[in-house]
Structure 1
Amino acid sequence: MAEIDVRDIRHVYEKGTENETVAIKRVNLTLEDGTANALLGPSGCGKTTLLQIISGLLTPTDGQILIDGEDVTDQSPAERDVAQVFQFPVIYDSMSVYGNLAFPLRNSGVPEDEIRDRVHYVADLLDLEDILQDSPAGLGPEMNQLIALGRGIIREETSAILFDEPMTDVEPYRKLTIRRRVKEAQREFGITALYVTHDQHEALTFADKVAIMDVGELVQYDTGQNLYENPTNTFIGHFIGSPGMNLFDCGVGESNGVPYAELGGHSITVAEKLHSRIDPSWTDCQLGIRPNSVEVAFEEPADTSEYVPASVNQVELHSGFQIATAVLEGSDVEVKARVAHDDPVDDGDFVWLKFPGEDVRLFHKQESLEAA
């Protein structure tokens, strides 16, 4: 297995021409040995380019790729012992499933008895035993992805396995099963894995840590929980979560030496740990809070000092809960709040919203004060 270091990687397509495109501006990233990682971001952010550079399919304009400390920037994928599973896997229909799994081992001159043991071990892990003698031609795309995965991990020398949007052609109802098997295989072999996707659900259910890219830059590399709770900037706050974080332009002020945020004419408490980082003279500030952190009272609280009155203008039904959108009194600020599926809320209702200080995230020039 392997630790992979991405050092100062920059890549430019058609450099020096009128079509010059900077796909990756400057990225540094370390994938620890034996970990499951995901590379997530919107289309065109540079994630596939970075994956190809890590795999050896593309040589970067600048920077280095190190595997266990060795500079492999100019090596081919085979020399790096890196396996890759593509969006549309290359499967040999002329061979059985067994033959497909055995192919890399036979190509390396491994004895047939060892091949047999290894094939059955991998097939059992991926639940392919019952179809080993079948032709892949009659199998669906989800099974072909598992065969491609098995072929990638069957060699003991494989240092890492890279997945490029592997669920593109898989039926939605089968994706969970495939992801589970992929994750089980990664854990069983302790292999370093990188899973590229634009789907945050896929990334967060597969990976120990997720690297998020935007316009050629690595924005944040963290656990799913930290990405959700402590985004480093407003892009991450909006991108992660369904729905994303409530984000508003806001003001900041100070009362009796205590900083606060100002939203739609209302004062919002911020966590004490942020007080020393806030400059009341700032103008370019943003307030963020997750919909599930907004507390909703359907009747006027006995103490309204920490609540903001609001009018509900939309209610969306989701699986097991509702998202209520409410406009803060005296403003045009719309706040989304998650409420239980059986809470009595409807368009036109008057409610009171509370923004718990510990759950409020404050940003200055789009960057989180938590990360400052």
Structure 2
Amino acid sequence: MDVSAAAWWLTILGIIGLLLFDFVFHVRKSHVPTLREASIWSALYVGIALLFGAGVWIFGGAEPGAEYFAGYVTEKALSVDNLFVFLVILSSFKVPRADQQKALLFGIVFSLIARSGFILLGAALINTFSWAFYLFGLILLFTAGNLLKPESEESHAAGNLMVRLARRLLPSTATYDGDRMFTVQDGRRVMTPMLLVMIAIGGTDILFALDSIPAIFGLTQNVYLVFTATAFSLLGLRQLYFLIDDLLDRLIYLTYGLSIILFFIGVKLVLHALHENNVPFINGGRPVPVTEISTGLSLSMIIGVLLVTVIASMASAKGVAQNTVSAARRHAQEYLEVEHDPALRRELFAKLLTEEARLRKLPEKYRRSIREEERLMTLLRRVHEEHDRTRVR
């Protein structure tokens, strides 16, 4: 599919326009998005992505259209998995909920810029070295295996390498000044933790790109489709975070589904590399007669695996228990350490009461393990004690 320079510029300007609109009309003024607001704008951004894909299908053909949708669905699924890491970072830095939007949007912008660079690099590698397909395939196979290993939350917390380096090079305050990135303290201009949050989110996303960019190049080598699928998967990610953050821990099988998808795409890349082979020590530098995986099969497999893993996660009693415990712990920490606005604290306490009621309804084996979590039990007692003291005042 040939894309003119005019189409490229219109696409880039359209994406920049959407980001500016998001900042001016939603993020510039700190607030906590309502469920209705997050739902409407999440649906709108998904709708824009789907309309764009329909346009590619109509004007570019069925094959490019299927490649775009396969790439978009894969990148969107990886982005949802990445939201859990964003949640860890925001919780670790104790970012007030009303100020989280700005950190997320700037992190997404940084991610889009960084991934655009990776896309150009990936395209250059593929055009110059045919063995790049082997490299990308091996990266995805390695990543698929790593996804099955439990990951420590500390690797994304407030003390990770990028943040420690930023703290050393730039003086920062210990407290927030709204959603400002810089403030004046003792007569000098210093950065606030908000800037550190953005650095942590942006820096972590560079690591995410190491699997997402090879994955989409495994589905299409058209740079325009790679760029647009990646960009549209990131647009609306901020709204999606506020829409499903209370359900993120519920998706307990999503990682397994992503592992299967990345393994599948890794095999697809290796098969394509064998089909186009000119590496001297493989088959004497001649192409290997192997069957390649079609785009239609790839799209069907990706959607099917995601549907199965999401449905299985939502129906799982273990997922319900894990999600309720995580939500209760997070809301208790926010009540005690982050939020000071009385209205927001009342809202958090109401959520906590609902979550405690859900915990009491869980099967005994889950309730028994929860009661053994002394830190969680202590946290919940502290919230009730603090709430009682506030009511007495």
Q: TM-score, normalised by structure 1?
A: 0.24
Which structure would you say has the larger Rg?
1
Structure with the bigger RCO (C-alpha within 8 Å, sep 6+) is: 2
Q: TM-score, normalised by structure 2?
A: 0.23
More strand by share: 1
More helix by share: 2
